Structure 1
């Protein structure tokens, strides 16, 4: 008999990625015993909440959650309050503050808007954290798009270096609808992982190293998504409706095949 958890994950992979949050909630309602495992295993579009103390928006994920409460990276307080909540140590909290400042600048440079949040926590041999970035656009009532990136990392400190393990997930949703063209929906996600040993000189080095790794990973994943989403869509549209007359296109293809055949025969 199939394991219920594996079956739930298998089902989510086959459903529309745009409806991940809704489908996840339905699965949790059907099988409450799997709720905690599903919430920690399934990446979903990030939700936004406003910090009551600072008035700044922050992003929600499983890594800043304690039951039904979430910790703000700006105030380091849970909302609603949790009396016995586990908070990062003083040293890790200082790095968390620096990282939030750094990625706030990164967000403005690369996204020109959106929201960023960074959360750190302690490990036995170092620390770990997550970098969250979200940008949503609605240029008009018929078009929308959102980018959610989740970068989870672990850092194990050594003599003068640190070993970083970074797992990044990007969730992309694009949609448009018009009377002439109908509706189009491109939704999906991509996950990549990398490990690196980088030099450190003080705690601020961790923030700089993490910034470079996240920047490199996001650029690579953006290019991959552009190739997969838009390149494939362009190929499909090209097969449906050619810009030059189809007879010319077929003639060019036949000429190309003939040239390849002649070269191969030699």
Structure 2
């Protein structure tokens, strides 16, 4: 019965407005408290943004750096609000986590030209796991366009030999676009897309730089694929629908184009 309720909850969330995913998820957790833990761990929500009290740098919040009502900053490694017994990575993994954050911060600057990034690591038997997060919000413009892009890349690293490791990547993009235009009218487009990848790649050193290179390459390739799919599915379909249902040109312009086409056709026939 519990499995049926869990499947029904996921089914319901897929059919509700993705812009309200956080509110809908909270409502479901209140209605079915026994499913709360499973739902929170399996449903991706838009990323939050906080400022590190120690470094004054922004960081992203999600279920992977949350402990109770506190969130751990990747820059200082401390929880906000402070926790005496919050889960933290060991010294070696924390050093690697800092290196991951530095690398993905450069990636964010190059590919997103702004936004916020964060990376978090935790121990696993036979390896480690982590998540790389990216958030880019479009500033409010004069024509009223807004947009938010959230990327969530969860990865697992398992050592298979002295010179190789197996990498599993699950990537989710949450897209939310809205705006108003005098010609086109209102636009409200939102949704999410999830894809997975798995590769066994060489590890040439023990310092962790190989892991950063391998995971960074997989994230880069996955984001490129997700952008292409979103462009084809979301924007391509939207253009087709808008083109079929309504015309941007005025009635006078349309009539003129039809008359011109008729004259050209007659000329070709003669």
Normalised to the residue count of structure 1, the TM-score between the two structures is: 0.88
* Paired position in structure 1 for 2:90: 89
Q: Are 1:191 and 2:185 counterparts?
A: no
1:64 shift after superposition: 0.7
Q: How does 1:196-215 map to 2 (within 5 A)?
A: 196-200=199-203, 201-202=205-206, 203-215=208-220
* Paired position in structure 1 for 2:78: 77
Closer/same/farther in 2, CA of residues 246 and 233 from structure 1, 3 Å limit:
farther
Moved more, 222-231 or 1-10: 1-10
1:248 shift after superposition: 10
Q: Are 1:236 and 2:241 counterparts?
A: yes
Three-state SS of the structure 2 residue aligned to 1:140 is coil
Closer/same/farther in 2, CA of residues 207 and 246 from structure 1, 3 Å limit:
farther
Q: Are 1:146 and 2:151 counterparts?
A: no
Three-state SS of the structure 1 residue aligned to 2:174 is strand
Cα distance in structure 1, aligned partners of 2:78 and 2:62? 15
Pick aligned residue for 2:231 from 226, 232, 235: 226
Q: How does 1:15-164 map to 2 (within 5 A)?
A: 15-140=16-141, 142-159=144-161, 160-164=163-167
The superposition leaves residues 44-75 of structure 1 with CA deviations (integer Å, 9 ceiling, x where unpaired) of 11001111111111111111111111111001
RMSD value, Cα: 2.0
Cα distance in structure 2, aligned partners of 1:196 and 1:100? 22
Closer/same/farther in 2, CA of residues 246 and 153 from structure 1, 3 Å limit:
farther
Three-state SS of the structure 2 residue aligned to 1:82 is coil
Closer/same/farther in 2, CA of residues 73 and 181 from structure 1, 3 Å limit:
same
* Paired position in structure 2 for 1:6: 7
* Paired position in structure 1 for 2:264: none
Normalised to the residue count of structure 2, the TM-score between the two structures is: 0.87
Q: Are 1:216 and 2:218 counterparts?
A: no
* Matched residues, number: 249
Give 5+ residue unaligned stretches, structure 2. 262-270
Give 5+ residue unaligned stretches, structure 1. 250-266
Cα distance in structure 2, aligned partners of 1:22 and 1:39? 12
Closer/same/farther in 2, CA of residues 124 and 179 from structure 1, 3 Å limit:
same
Cα distance in structure 1, aligned partners of 2:141 and 2:154? 33
Closer/same/farther in 2, CA of residues 30 and 248 from structure 1, 3 Å limit:
farther
Cα distance in structure 2, aligned partners of 1:235 and 1:145? 21
Cα distance in structure 2, aligned partners of 1:177 and 1:218? 28
The superposition leaves residues 89-118 of structure 1 with CA deviations (integer Å, 9 ceiling, x where unpaired) of 111111110010000000000111000000
Cα distance in structure 1, aligned partners of 2:259 and 2:186? 30
Cα distance in structure 1, aligned partners of 2:61 and 2:20? 18
